Amino acid sequence: MKKILMHIFLSVIFSSIFGCSDKTPLQEDYIGVYRIIKIIENTETIKSLPLNQIELTENYYISSIDSNGDNKFSEEEISKSTYLFSTDEKDNPYISITGNESIVMLIEDDYYDLLFKRVDVNGRVTTIYMRKVR
């Protein structure tokens, strides 16, 4: 009986010591299609139509914006770029999109599924609030 209790006690201690560390975010954690709920640039809210979305695949960042409101994406409304996924020194995930000088922080949120936060070279902060649809 004492051996069993000691084994349970040691198991709890080891699991609490070694199980406390958060896992490093991986690219696969963010692969999917996200519907854009709202966009805030500095303090100004930019209207987002319900169809607008961002998709992260293993290789591409795909932005689909229904700019004319016809509930369809034409070729001109879909932008596809390669991107690099990485984490900073604090294990905060971010992507660097080809052709874009600033990085996009991937921030998990309690209400939205994901926030994209970007600070451009002029210091303008853009935050995109999104829900994962698949």
Is residue 96 domain-resident?
Answer: yes
**Is 47 contained in some domain?**
yes
What is the number of other CB atoms lying within 10 angstroms of the CB of residue 61?
Answer: 22
Q: Quick: pLDDT tens for 85-99.
A: 999 999 999 999 998
Give this prediction's pTM. 0.78
pLDDT of residue 127: 96
Domain around 114:
23-132
Establish if 65 belongs to a structural domain: yes
Q: Is residue 56 part of a domain?
A: yes
Q: What is the average pLDDT across 74-90?
A: 95
Beta-carbon contacts of 107 under 8 Å, excluding residues fewer than 6 positions away, are 92, 114, 115, 116, 117
Model pLDDT, residue 79: 95
* Overall number of domains in the chain: 1
- Structural domain contains residue 6: no
Q: How confident is the model at residue 3 (pLDDT cuts 50, 70, 90)?
A: very low
User: What token pair was written down for 59?
Assistant: 């290789």
pLDDT tens digits along 98-113: 988 789 999 999 999 9
Kindly calculate the radius of gyration of the chain based on its CA atoms and give it in whole angstroms: 20
pLDDT digits (tens, 9 = 90+) for 28-46: 999 999 999 999 999 899 8
CATH (domain of 76): 2.40.128
Residue 8 lies in a domain: no
Could you tell me if residue 10 is inside a domain? Answer: no
Residue 127, domain member (yes or no): yes
- Higher-confidence position of 127 and 50: 127
